[in-house]
Structure 1
Amino acid sequence: MLPNDRTVPLSESDVAPDFSLVGVVGDDRDEYDLSETTDAGNYVVLFFYPADFSPVCTPEMCAIRDADFFEATPNVVAWAISGDSAYAHHVFADAYDLDFPLLSDTDHSVADAFDVKYDEWEGHREMVKRGMFLVDPERRVRYAWRSDDAYVRTDLWPLREALDEAMRDDRVDADVATADLAPDYETDDLERLS
């Protein structure tokens, strides 16, 4: 179980809580570890949702499946997280051809660490709230969105804009670092000639 000793909700620029969860994609069941994935240079998009097969979550997961910018953008992975079991995830993914990992947070510790957990919702104890987070390769939260309304549908456009901005900023930082290390041949040549 992950500790959640926060007095304020997780927000942009915070370090994302590390976690490792069992998940399924297709017929494969595996362990998904946030720090391993970010340490490999990947951005991770986390989609928290209440339940498999629910009337809002099903079209939402299908919209994520159809949002080809995750597959078309290198070094970006998308994971969806709910409190459902890996078995329920397998049936859900199979029924809707979901081609991204569905992770099982059965004890709700990850949802709690990301501040997306209901203590009680419509008679169900400890349900996952709807939320989206973009975590960069340094494990910093670059985008955070959550809703107390389980029936609201996520809007992927602000997430896409945040992803584009994060990748653009990180690429600029990498270019500046590279430029600082590159020798200035023109200046070096002039000094040798004098």
Structure 2
Amino acid sequence: MSRSTELSLDFSLPGTEGDEISEYRLSDHTAGGAAVLVFYPFDFSPVCTAEICGFRDAEWLSFTENVDVLGISRDSCYAHKRFIEEYNLSFPLLSDTQGEVIEQFDVMYDEWDYHRDVPKRALVTLDESHDICYKWQTEDAYETPDMDELEQSVLSLLDGAAR
């Protein structure tokens, strides 16, 4: 886990919540709260599917106001629409086909399973100012994050914002 207030970021990517493709701006999802960015290699891969469904099923996220989850991979919005539909996902998936946001957050494999420039499995929590408050990433794409650690970081961020 790391905490940094040195880097302030914003971005805009195409994405979907399953119906229409729209433009998603980070600042729209941090206004008055926080955003959890979930970087993952591929829609429909076994470990990614389990991880993304874990966010769907995380009750603490469903009942925590002012926290938006945004999934980010290099898959197209068309693949995302199908992934959302098949697994009944409750948050947007964004398409970083050029890898610019993935590179900006420094969460890119040079090569993984013969695919170049794939996003690492990573979590980033940003506050209302777009400062990175929490970052977890792994070199092992089969490793999954500690959801309890993420929950504690988000709740402490929101507790700090309420003061």
One-letter amino acid of the counterpart of residue 73, structure 1: T
One-letter amino acid of the counterpart of residue 79, structure 2: A
When you count helix as a share of all residues, which structure comes out higher? Answer: 1
Q: Say if 2:141 is the partner of 1:150.
A: yes
User: For residues 3-48 of structure 1, what are the alpha-carbon distances to aligned partners after superposition, in whole Å with 9 as ceiling and x for unaligned?
Assistant: xxxxxxx95323342110111112132111012332x212100000
Of structures 1 and 2, the one scoring higher in RCO (CA 8 A, sep 6+) is: 2
Partners of 2:9 and 2:96 lie apart in 1 by 14
One-letter amino acid of the counterpart of residue 129, structure 2: E
TM-score (norm 2): 0.94
The CA deviation at 1:113 is 0.5
One-letter amino acid of the counterpart of residue 36, structure 1: D
Matched-pair contact (CA < 8 Å) for 2:9–2:131: no
What SS does structure 2 have at the residue aligned with 1:169?
Answer: helix
The CA deviation at 1:71 is 2.3
Q: Which structure would you say has the larger Rg? A: 1
One-letter amino acid of the counterpart of residue 16, structure 2: V
Partners of 1:19 and 1:50 lie apart in 2 by 19
Partners of 1:11 and 1:122 lie apart in 2 by 31
Aligned residues: CA RMSD: 1.4
User: For residues 63-89 of structure 1, what are the alpha-carbon distances to aligned partners after superposition, in whole Å with 9 as ceiling and x for unaligned?
Assistant: 100012222111110000000000000
One-letter amino acid of the counterpart of residue 142, structure 1: C
Count how many residue pairs are aligned between Structure 1 and Structure 2. 162
- Structure 1 stretches of 4+ moved >4 Å: none
Counterpart of 1:112 (choices 92, 97, 103) is 103
Aligned to 1:54: 45
Q: Say if 2:13 is the partner of 1:24.
A: no
What SS does structure 2 have at the residue aligned with 1:13?
Answer: coil
Q: Among all aligned residue pairs of Structure 1 and Structure 2, give the percentage whose two residues are the same amino acid.
A: 44
Partners of 2:5 and 2:138 lie apart in 1 by 19
What SS does structure 2 have at the residue aligned with 1:35?
Answer: helix
Query: Using a 3 Å threshold, how does the CA distance of structure 1 residues 16 and 57 change in structure 2: closer, same or farther?
Result: farther
5+ residue gaps, structure 2, are: none
One-letter amino acid of the counterpart of residue 14, structure 1: E
TM-score (norm 1): 0.79
Counterpart of 2:130 (choices 100, 119, 139) is 139
Aligned to 2:86: 95
Aligned to 1:14: 6
